[in-house]
Structure 1
């Protein structure tokens, strides 16, 4: 049997999936790691913990391959969370932990760049909105607030590039990950001179941009032995998790959007060329040089649902255990007892600031419309609805840029919930299709590997691998309710906006004093 492995480097865990030659899942492994939030606006990870999770996951699934019986591992390929940054000195000693997309300490320098008009110029060439998530902003923050680190940094990598560097001694970055840095010109496919000039760094401090089909085949023996694979096994760079999510659910045709809700979320469509939004609301990231993913990311997805579970429904954990239920399934069952619209209770899910659609790192969450008639069941339903309403707002901006959307492919943890799927169909008033293959990112990574190896000719061939799907049609009774509530949700997000900075500054002051 010939096998491929897809590795999905996520924000809170690394998932490793072993596929057979027919792209059927044979084994999975999932190893988590913490997100360090020790200071206000910080969101860092430990690169060694992520490397260990990746190594352990590979070891777990490789056990299912019988090399002595003639089984072959054709390739290992990667999907990765985007926008991470690690600084190294000239001897490749790490000077920082992994500064993740969720870290917003660069908000001050981001706003300064946006206020000059230079930010829009850079966005028009890089396709990455000016926001603290991007390594562009993180470098401005390092330069201003960590001058010793900035002065001694000889190399900058993201988390996937670190793993390749450690395994192979490589210093490369695929153009998909590069296109999310805010430093990469998506039209000439090289590091952008203007963006580099703003940050004060040199091209020599950044990895060599390569196609997602680039591979390494000479792993350090110490790691090959521990993992249990031949040292010459091809490791394919792959791409960013957002672009690969579209590929993994076969959302690569015009007008077909992929909606992903994991820890964070996004809505994306594929174009054959980069598309820039004059208002700077959407991103354009590469899948490869012929496929460009246009969309908007949101900070607040499944992590907000987790917040609701941990802070509003702590008592239900024991109930779920007694019923042998997943606590999230119990919460969605509770939410299903409340009608669509939660009897007029709205929730803005901006617990971690927000990227699209408002691009405001100071944004904060809120319940609006609370009355004596509302209970916790209303609150959890409004949390779920608020997450979808927010992504719906992004879709309105996306349609201005790329045209009408006519179908939604759902992926990520939310796609496992029938209530959440139906909610998305009702709010978007569009059919929502859920492919049978939940491991979409890892599957897409293996398709990239097969194209790199010459086994597959076109990325579009993934349509044969995605398998069966379920489609949820909009419920007229529900979408009539959501038609009334969506404009209120949108107007409120604008009306609250002037006070976000004030309340965020108050919280930073209060939290700093607590520390």
Structure 2
């Protein structure tokens, strides 16, 4: 495991809220004052286990230990006394699944959102007469990322695990059970399972029937402000907290990120690019798409997020650094090297589907594709086209949201890409509108901290978030490049639409010969 400490501010006698963010590559704990100011952060990294083609798993016990160490790290490295911690909220990546047996013993690793083993099961569910209805009711696209299709895979391929399992839970539920002995899940995370009815916020009987389980094998549903208390002495000491420090369930990382960047009103769109990418807007009622291009998940009470996540964000830049430059350049140097290449990469296009794709096409067999190469292209063109391909994927989700809920009146950017002027300019140009960068670096953790504050009665609603997320800078679109990208986006969509049959063929070839 690797550890990363963030910057810290003077703590003094402030009361502190901890936001714990369980991510794909690390768990990060972030300390905030009751005024929303970040006091410090500490991350513990862990590996993604991919010992079979298409599988992407993690060790749940390592993640539990990482969460404990991250809390201790943010306190000890930033001079924060655990007695000043008023509470903690938890954000978590969506779509993970763990089968657990008697006494909460894990029978499987944590099967992550990136795991594609249930592609066949997802395809069958999608083709069933009620497949579209399941999506309409639950808001979760039928895709291998969904715990619904993962459950069917487990039932069909690991019957011993299936019959031995007492519960099927996410990594956050497993952490909560290990710390507090309760099987509970917040509505926000549950609504990304494909098993929760959005209109009632109860487990959906039709989806449960497809999965082959009843609700007794799932956790009890609770709001994100649900309080947990009574840490074991050993866990409290390991974290550096009091035994009675209250924890609150919080929500999913996507919903918490929208809260954390202040994209909480109608038409306020959040774009986040880290390893993957996501485009989200908040609504006051469930909205699903007839073409199944977008998700709809609950955030809290009558707040929902609509949007889509793409598989391939910063991971594309990392791949290009290693594949095209053999690690000779840092990612920052790569971004600098392509700044002299004009928008459009002289006609070179890239479909950025290096790990399949989620929104808006939900095709785990999709593959990365360069198109339009000629003798004048150099490595820098391939890198620029790669970055543009990531942004075209983001734009395709934004266009689906426009069809569903109307145009965005405000765009807020967060994640690692928001530190890159080049990528921010690309986003503004492709959207054809101003992009705002809030002064917040840990949006999901801040969102979880906000729900903890609500649970403590320190905050009545989210209006205060706007004061906590002032805009650090704004990026205006270049109108000439915006027009060029609109023209090229048409070609991108035509190319993407022409290749699914060929994606399937090359995927079958790879499976046969791997």
The answer to whether the superposition gives a TM-score over 0.5 is yes
Matched, 1:24 2:27: no
Q: Which runs of 4+ in 1 moved over 4 A?
A: none
Could you tell me the TM-score, scaled by structure 2's length? 0.95
Alignment gaps of 5+ in structure 2? 1-13
Q: Which moved more, 1:116-125 or 1:416-425?
A: 116-125
Structure 1 residue 90, shift from structure 2 partner: 2.6
- Quick one: distance in 2 between partners of 1:333 and 1:124? 44
Matched, 1:108 2:120: yes
Would you say the 8 A contact 1:65–1:72 is kept in 2? Answer: no
Matched, 1:366 2:369: yes
- Quick one: distance in 1 between partners of 2:242 and 2:467? 30
- Quick one: distance in 2 between partners of 1:304 and 1:146? 33
Change (3 A) 1:163 1:374: same
Partner of 1:38: 51
Structure 1 residue 469, shift from structure 2 partner: 2.1
Matched, 1:126 2:129: no
Partner of 2:6: none
Structure 1 residue 315, shift from structure 2 partner: 4.5
- Quick one: distance in 2 between partners of 1:235 and 1:312? 46
Alignment gaps of 5+ in structure 1? 318-326
Partner of 1:507: 510
Would you say the 8 A contact 1:95–1:149 is kept in 2? Answer: yes
Partner of 1:199: 211
Partner of 1:57: 70
- Quick one: distance in 2 between partners of 1:309 and 1:81? 26
Matched, 1:349 2:352: yes
Partner of 1:322: none
RMSD (Å), alpha carbons:
1.2
- Quick one: distance in 1 between partners of 2:327 and 2:132? 48
- Quick one: distance in 2 between partners of 1:454 and 1:446? 12
Deviations 1:427-480 (A, max 9, x none): 111111111111111111111111111111101221111134211010112112
Following superposition of structure 1 onto structure 2, how do residues 398-409 of structure 1 map, counting pairs within 5 Å? 398-409=401-412
| Partner-residue secondary structure (3-state), 1:212 | coil
- Quick one: distance in 1 between partners of 2:150 and 2:262? 33
- Quick one: distance in 1 between partners of 2:199 and 2:452? 25
Structure 1 residue 286, shift from structure 2 partner: 0.9
Matched, 1:98 2:116: no
Partner of 2:464: 461
Q: Indicate which of 474, 480, 487 corresponds to 1:484.
A: 487
Partner of 1:162: 174
Q: Indicate which of 231, 256, 260 corresponds to 1:248.
A: 260
Matched, 1:188 2:188: no
Would you say the 8 A contact 2:436–2:471 is kept in 1? Answer: no
Q: Indicate which of 421, 424, 441 corresponds to 1:438.
A: 441
- Quick one: distance in 1 between partners of 2:79 and 2:186? 28
Deviations 1:225-253 (A, max 9, x none): 11111011011110001111111111111
Task: State the aligned residue count.
Answer: 500
Matched, 1:145 2:153: no
Partner of 1:320: none
- Quick one: distance in 2 between partners of 1:507 and 1:447? 46
| Partner-residue secondary structure (3-state), 1:91 | helix
Change (3 A) 1:179 1:486: same
- Quick one: distance in 1 between partners of 2:385 and 2:280? 24
Q: Which moved more, 1:424-433 or 1:467-476?
A: 467-476
